[in-house]
Chain A
């Protein structure tokens, strides 16, 4: 479990809390950079787009949905592994989860928020977005519950709420540890955050019970969220989108890219926060095996999608298929196949699974592949719908590209703020994995 010898309880506290309590100039520089990138690349172009209209983006009659929506799916997908994986591993009692799950869940939360931002950017009149919530009003107007977008609003808000509660509940004992290790305002703040946690047996019992309950609650929710996101596409009759396989396809792809995202985040935590002791070979190895299994499922579903398009034999489907495989975006398509279906096969070899650098590279390639996968779904099916008169072509404008880059900075900013506010590794659960200490130790 531990690569560099087992730490004592006090060392665990010190190692993990020092990240929160000691802040160097490197952190402020990094935070400043990500924040300014977020403002310059995301919010300023968005502001421009709000003034001019969505026409500032590259969408047209050929494709009414563009990179905003494909990025939305990408970020929702990235959010999928954290809470889901944490919950599944919790109820299956896997000890290696304990040092990974806190940051994984934080990733869920922040990528969900980024995804929600993309919905806002996508809308033509975002200032009326509250109309999509069932708020009682004097007009007696309700949202349309038949709409897959409505399902989306419901699913995402539920998932966001549930995973916030899940991560918060799991952190309460750690907030108490922060409270005990700090003074002044921070101490008062964390007294509130920790709900006056004292660590009595009854409190531990209640926490364990509630946590398991939420873990069970969150799993079906996570599966439903991405199924519902896929229905945005699958419930249309657009060739290339109207596939029954879409729900499992999206769920699998989501967990896939999310797990790859966890590997990337783990690497950064280990590298920059000196968590080598807590995130070790066993985590990497297990995540690698999971990624490998997911990549095989993903490849299978992808083949199935192509096959059903071809076997169905409808001329509309065939035209969309032809455009996808051989059209302008064919290089992107084959790049996706390379990165998401073939590169992960390297993880069959222990040499790759056990090397942090190689795994970092593979995980980043997978996520690049998944980003393009979402783009391809949006950009190759809409320009080949039914009437040849509307056949066309979609290419993102500089605003869309810039906002895509900026979204990564937003995610990084939220994560950087997170590691200063919440212990990035669960202190009490790491302690659970330690061997019992001798009395004199």
Chain B
């Protein structure tokens, strides 16, 4: 009897999925573009992220042990020999891959793909096997090796919309999911079905002085990101691994010699 009930609800649910328009509510694919030609490597995004997402300051000693937590970081690369040296930099954050290597790794589903195409991390579910971090080719997952605290009065500046993580938990860039949620709620309050382009701005995008970054829904052909993605300079990092990242970088243009 019970089994029959379960089956009928299942069938009902499945029928709902088939209805046209059902997916509209979920039909986002949050995407970011980063124009390396505009990026000056000022690290404003790094600081903004630190403030927005309650990232701990790990201190000098733990920084030296390579245990810092920076959801977005600026990687520096040098090319050539002195004096003919060129330096390049690239902001690296969670790529929110569509075929994410980290997602299959977690035994408890602490990391999974949500309907918006985000690669989410559930801190409360994480048991700290750290497998996701090993599997991640971009090395953008950060582990809470200790429980970090904020000295008074710094705990007053914590963002109330974001949890503070305890020891033994993995964390990473969420594309500022709290802002995405807020925008969706606002859209619902205004009786709009979808979030408008430019309504969601992650902290890093907001803080970029040269507007090198753009964020939006790439399923919307009119959105700024969709247009930026079509730029012939666009590429994704470690494309050969076929992780299909949601972040498109625009190559730095060089003068033809």
Contacts and interface: CB of A to CB of B under 8 A. Distances in A.
Interface in A73-131: 122-126, 128-129, 131
A149 interface: yes
A237 interface: yes
Contacts of B133: 61, 64
B241 to A, nearest CB: 6
A54 B130 CA distance: 11
Contacts of B77: 388-389
Interface residues of B, number: 42
B138 A124 contact: no
Interface string B231-252: 0000000100100000000000
A388 B77 CA distance: 9
Contacts of B138: 386-387
Given A235-B104, A382-B134, A389-B75, A129 B127 contact: yes
B107 A124 contact: no
Interface stretch (A139-147, A160-168, A194-202, A213-221): A139-147
A386 B95 CA distance: 14
Given A60-B65, A64-B130, A238-B134, A124 B139 contact: no
A132 B127 contact: yes
Given A60-B66, A387-B75, A392-B66, A141 B127 contact: no
**Most A CB within 10 A of own CB, among B108, B135, B169:** B108
B109 A144 contact: yes
Interface stretch (B22-30, B38-46, B144-152, B177-185): B144-152
Q: How many A residues are at the interface, by size bracket?
A: 35 or more
A236 interface: yes
Given A125-B168, A235-B104, A389-B139, A131 B62 contact: no
Given A53-B144, A55-B67, A388-B77, A147 B127 contact: no
B163 interface: no
A52 B146 contact: yes
Interface in A140-160: 141-144, 146-150, 153
Contacts of A387: 75, 92, 137-139, 238
A147 B106 contact: yes
Main DSSP-derived SS at the B contact region: loop
A385 B139 CA distance: 9
A386 B238 contact: yes
A339 B68 CA distance: 38
B89 to A, nearest CB: 10
B192 interface: no
Nearest to A65: B134
B131 interface: yes
Contacts of A142: 109
A390 interface: yes
B188 interface: no
Given A143-B107, A153-B107, A390 B128 contact: no
Given A60-B65, A237-B241, A143 B109 contact: yes
A232 interface: yes
Contacts of A144: 104, 106-109
A108 B65 CA distance: 37
Nearest to A139: B125
Contact of A147 (B107, B125, B139, B147): B107
A382 B135 CA distance: 9
B101 interface: yes
Contacts of B129: 122-124, 149
A162 B225 CA distance: 56
Nearest to A132: B107
Interface in B30-74: 62, 65-68, 73
A101 to B, nearest CB: 34
A437 B127 CA distance: 61
A124 B131 contact: no
A392 B167 CA distance: 23
Contacts of A128: 127
A65 to B, nearest CB: 6
Nearest to A122: B129
B125 A131 contact: yes
Contact of B66 (A61, A129, A132, A153): A61
Interface string A230-247: 001001111000000000
B108 A236 contact: no
Contacts of B187: none
A10 B223 CA distance: 89
B195 interface: no
B131 A232 contact: yes
B105 A147 contact: yes
B146 to A, nearest CB: 4
26 contacts: A54-B168, A61-B142, A61-B143, A65-B134, A123-B127, A124-B126, A124-B127, A124-B169, A131-B127, A146-B104, A147-B106, A147-B107, A148-B104, A149-B105, A232-B131, A236-B131, A236-B135, A237-B241, A238-B137, A386-B139, A387-B75, A387-B92, A388-B77, A389-B73, A389-B75, A389-B139
Given A54-B128, A132-B127, A387-B75, 7 more contacts: A64-B130, A64-B134, A65-B130, A236-B101, A385-B139, A387-B92, A387-B137
Interface of B: 62, 65-68, 73, 75-77, 92, 101, 104-109, 125-131, 133-135, 137-139, 142-147, 167-170, 238, 241
